[in-house]
Amino acid sequence: MTLQEKKKIFHDWAYGLFIHYGVYSVYGNGEWKMFLERLDPKEYFEKALPHFHPTYEMGHYWAELAKRFAMRYAVLTTRHHEGYFIGDDVIRGFVDGCREYDLGIGLYYSVADWSDPDYCGGPANAENWERFVQKTHRQIRQIMTDYGQIDYLFYDACPPGDLWRLMELHKEIRAMQPGLLVSRCNGPDNDLKSCERHTSGSPDDIWETCDSLNGAWSYNPHDTDWRTPKNVVKLLSTNRHNGGNLLLSIGPKADGSFQPEVFEVLDKVGDWVRANEEALFDVEPHPFSYHDREISTSKGNNAYFRLERNYGPEKRIVGIGNKVNRVTWLVSGEEIRFEQVKDVVTLFDMPIEKPDDLPLMIKFELDGEPVGIPNPMQPNMKVKFEGE
């Protein structure tokens, strides 16, 4: 499989589960606790490790949940900045579960390690830094060799690539893992962008937004700022319109279980995703070159719109350069009465959007692949200078 083919597969996954799990899950106060509170690593681990018992069953359960929530890939933190490698059993359970449920397999690895004096001392002490680099290479080689085919390696907190011999390591691991996709390595060998809590929208790259279901990446019972199902659905569908994925993080408790809010939100999102999957997976982004000013995707001669700004019984969708043959509600297939005048399509008998309703999706059947018509109110700012 070529790299371009693998990138297409990644883009088609669309929606993924990000699991933040580590010793910090015992404390339940965020994965940055050691750093922010300047805790002694020895005491930090001694206090928590008796209560930290990752198992094969945990990892498998998280993959099962990704499938339940209608996600198509999953990423597991194998080591966060606290420096504790979570162990073979839970990683193996996760990887096996992903294969069982036909999910893309991603593993996260933080190069930063606050518990390692060799890392904290920086590269000025060449001997100590080399010991840190060799340890890091060993662990990354381990996760790239012990669990079969891995689709996606998600780095975090990486020093500049030349400081930890990134390209030397990648020459090895790409030979072990043909088709592997890499993000956030802080060097020249990235295959995609993973944007932390923001979007990219670059038409020339594959990308994802990595974000969390509440304000915390990992388990934190004090954080009650949960996203609503509507918010998650809008984030996902907006990313698909802009050509990206959504990788959504939830933090298990130390025993591998989740807070009830996780299910209250993501089961509803999962139902919506399954009902509207035709408009989300294996689609082209912004099919009308953004001239429609809507949230839209397409597949062949079909275009899909998330119903936006719906305040009355009529809805105008503009910039459509095709003849529209038919308009239907995506989920029910029921026809929508419409009128087309040039590039303006007016839909009739539209429902009024209510605050808690999940968005409705509309399907346009066109006479060909989508074509966008620019708004004549928008001037062309491209100027041809003399001599060009």
Q: What is the pLDDT of residues 289-300, one digit of tens each?
A: 999 999 999 999
329-343 pLDDT, tens digit per residue, is 999 999 999 999 999
Residue 378: per-residue pLDDT:
84
Q: In terms of Cα–Cα distance, which of 96, 109, 22 is closest to 64?
A: 96
Residue ranges covered by each domain of the chain: 3-279, 284-366
Residue 265: per-residue pLDDT:
98
141-162 pLDDT, tens digit per residue, is 999 999 999 999 999 999 999 9
Angle at 123 between CA 121 and CA 126, to 5 degrees: 100
104-110 and 73-79: which strand pairing? parallel
Which residue blocks in the chain are alpha helix, DSSP H? 3-13, 24-27, 33-36, 41-48, 56-68, 88-100, 117-120, 126-145, 166-176, 229-242, 260-275
295-299 and 302-306: which strand pairing? antiparallel
Distance (Å, whole) CA 272 – CA 229: 9
CATH of 3-279, one of 3.30.70.2660, 3.40.50.720, 3.20.20.105, 3.20.20.80: 3.20.20.80
Number of other CB atoms surrounding residue 294 within 10 Å:
22
115-140 pLDDT, tens digit per residue, is 999 999 999 999 999 999 999 999 99
Residue 135: per-residue pLDDT:
97
**Cβ atoms of 266 and 259 closer than 8 Å:** no
Determine the 3-state secondary structure of 139 from DSSP: helix
297-312 pLDDT, tens digit per residue, is 999 999 999 998 877 7
pTM summary value: 0.96
| Band of pLDDT at residue 356, cut at 50, 70 and 90 | confident
Q: In terms of Cα–Cα distance, which of 369, 299, 228 is closest to 361?
A: 299
In the predicted structure, residue 361 carries a pLDDT above the cut 80: yes
Give Dmax (Cα) for the chain: 75
Query: In CATH terms, is domain 284-366 a member of 2.60.40.1180?
Result: yes
257-282 pLDDT, tens digit per residue, is 999 999 999 999 999 999 999 999 99
Answer with the residue of higher pLDDT: 1 or 286.
286
Q: How many residues in the chain?
A: 388
